[in-house]
Chain A
Amino acid sequence: MDRQAQIDLILDHYENPRHRGPLADASAVETGTNPGCGDVVTIYLKAGREGSIADISFDGNGCTISQAGASIVAEMFAGKTLGDVEATGPDAILGLIGPDIAAARQKCALLGLNTAQVAARRLYTVHFPMLG
């Protein structure tokens, strides 16, 4: 993806966020912040059977990259498993957003992913306690 396409992707997710809004019957709700700049992302996860993700959504406030990153994360993991969330490295997000755009703002770009991973980890240990 070239730079313009990456910018367009970020703006698209920022202006037309996917899976935005709280989940009434979430199994886990986790809020992550970048206190330094005021980005806030809340991830709502509803676990299905055997570690699958029945539903995922996000909410929040902050810079375009943090909110777009959260939208990308919600879209990425809808219909996937908790294990998928845990196994996803930062490059999956940074690669989409673009290295030079993300360079100065990694914390913003990864806020959604990091928050989702904390939420997933929590659910994971609840659902598979002997592994937690």
Chain B
Amino acid sequence: MLLDVAVSPDRAIDVEQIRADFPILERRVHEHPLVYLDNAASSQKPRQVLDAMDRYYRTTNANVHRGVHTLSEDATALYEAARARVSEFVGACCPKEIIWTRNATEAINLVAYSWGRANLGRGDRILLTEMEHHANLVPWQILAAEKEVELDFVPVADDGTLKLDRLPKLLTPRTRLFAFTAASNVVGTLNPVREMAAAAHKAGALALVDGAQSVPHMPVNVQELDIDFMAFSGHKMLGPTGIGVLWGRRELLNAMPPFMGGGDMIREVHLRESRWNELPWKFEAGTPAIAEAIGLGAAVSYLAGIGMEAVQAHGRQVVDYAMARLSEVKGLRILGATTNPRGALVAFTLGEIHPHDIAGALDSLGIAVRAGHHCAQPLHQRFGIPASTRASFYIYNNEAEVDLLVAGLQKVIEFFSS
């Protein structure tokens, strides 16, 4: 599929040119231009992604994998080409290591149900962290209750970084899995994935990475990182909702029992053994989200056309500017480290003003931020607050929008101090 983003990889992003690719940015909200700063929750879609999905439905729609007719063959080709593109994008050895799921949450649940249930037993331990998104906490809580497994947590320091000096103690001989986020969706911390995975392996544990906030924003190579599983979501990286990815090392995936049963995941049945279908289809029961996978393939092409180094550089530039400007706002406290490098998001509190009121007021100015616990209640409990306000940036955000955010916050302060 041809890439029609006219930017050569890894040159600096031309934000205006990119913005032209996103139809939704034309929207007005409460009579103001939309300023969309909620990308950590979900990203907008370029017309290239929308066109790819629309074109699929208009010209090539058919069920995949079993048809002999042209539409089915063509649909299968598009669908598997998308998988191959994603495989390349994350540095996997091969497309068979890319399992389509509904989202990162389902990907993590797949590992918990399939790998966890088959391999863990009473007394085994799983190491997590205090900064995890609920998607990388709750599935393990469910598994732990079922299998009498213990959960341990790497604590978070006041600056939002993990207390990694505790790792030698926390990675016990009974620890079977270390599951952690590559990038926090609240405090912006970027974790040293390779080092943490190495520590896990040294202790005989596998490493699972929640890549939901890293894969969309920076170059990620699973082989270089030497990790075992990674989960990420299509809708956070310009793709549609309803599609996500579990990457896993093929030796591990081959050894795991299936997740869901149904059509497409059985290959053959013998007298003494049944064979599940080979990878990746062993983990993909039923008719898949074909259009969505094709959409994610187009999103990956779009991002690859820009270059993930450029995407990351842009994110750093915008968040640096945001942190500088936000530090001028009286009473504003940023959660997490205020030094780079940081993920392209900022969560903050603003005096006693409730995040809902901040977000509501900003919304009336057309500015979309998120208020609440951002699916990280334990992390908020750690910082002693029930909720925060979060602005998160992506390739189509610019410094002018940060200025509007800051101006909006000044208005909020005025309003509540009168």
Contacts and interface: CB of A to CB of B under 8 A. Distances in A.
Contacts of A104: 360, 363
Interface string A4-38: 00000000000000000000000000000001111
A62 to B, nearest CB: 6
A63 B357 contact: yes
B354 A36 contact: no
A72 interface: no
A92 B360 CA distance: 22
Contacts of A65: 356-357, 360
Query: Which interface residue of A63, A66, A104, A105 has the most chain B CB atoms within 10 A?
Result: A63
Contacts of B373: 36-38
A43 to B, nearest CB: 19
Contacts of B357: 63-65
B395 interface: no
Interface string A94-130: 0000000100110010000000000000000000000
Interface residues on B, range: 10 to 19
Contact of A62 (B354, B360, B377, B385): B354
Given A62-B354, A63-B354, A37 B371 contact: yes
B387 interface: yes
Interface string B337-369: 000000000000000001111001001000000
A36 to B, nearest CB: 5
B354 A64 contact: yes
B372 interface: yes
Interface in B94-112: none
Contacts of A66: 356
A62 B386 CA distance: 9
B356 A37 contact: yes
A38 B385 CA distance: 8
A76 B354 CA distance: 25
B354 to A, nearest CB: 4
Nearest to B373: A36
Interface string A35-61: 111110000000000000000000000
Contact of A105 (B356, B386, B387): B356
A101 B364 CA distance: 10
Contacts of B354: 37-39, 62-64
Contacts of A63: 354-357
A13 to B, nearest CB: 14
A44 B354 CA distance: 24
A38 B381 CA distance: 11
A105 B360 CA distance: 9
A105 B387 CA distance: 15
Interface of A: 35-39, 62-66, 101, 104-105, 108
Interface of B: 354-357, 360, 363, 371-373, 377, 385-387
15 contacts: A35-B377, A37-B356, A37-B373, A38-B354, A38-B373, A38-B385, A38-B386, A38-B387, A39-B354, A63-B354, A63-B355, A63-B357, A64-B357, A65-B356, A65-B357
